[in-house]
Homo-oligomer: A and B are copies of this chain.
Amino acid sequence: MITKMESRDAMELLRRGAIGRLGCVIDEGPYVVPVNYVFDGDSILVHSLPGRKIAALRANPRACIQVDEIVHEFEWRSAIAYGTYEEVKDPDERDSLLQRILERFPHFTPVESAMSQVEGIPETIIFRIKVESATGVCET
């Protein structure tokens, strides 16, 4: 049976998750890409190299992130959070958020560290999606 999730359950699923599918709009059409993220209860925190999604979100900051736990075709839950893209540029805030991301994804550390020390490598972008609403559905 498919049922709607309460907002707090959708938030809890977002908090448990680590891989989400980020949706944004490019030239009035949809674009979806997987991202590793941390949800701090308020915002989805992501770091990324420059590229298609960053260009898209700079042009149109409306974003969503969809997270699911799929056991099989008839047992799954999926939550979606809607929000607005905000790039974090303040150096202290960048460091603090990157720290939170690296705590969750320690394997990122060597690459990020290495990259931050190599000139000419594009700088990692830290952004947040400030969550404005979240919903979910589940089948059990």
Contacts and interface: CB of A to CB of B under 8 A. Distances in A.
Given A74-B107, A107-B72, A107-B74, A21 B32 contact: yes
Q: How large is the interface on A (under 10, 10 to 19, 20 to 34, 35 or more residues)?
A: 20 to 34
Count this chain's copies in the assembly: 2
Contact of A80 (B28, B32, B63): B32
B78 A34 contact: yes
Interface of A: 2, 19, 21, 23-25, 28-34, 36, 49, 62-66, 68, 70, 72-74, 76, 78, 80, 82, 105, 107-108, 111
Q: Is the interface of A mostly helix, strand, loop or mixed?
A: strand
B33 A30 contact: no
Contacts of A34: 66, 68, 70, 76, 78
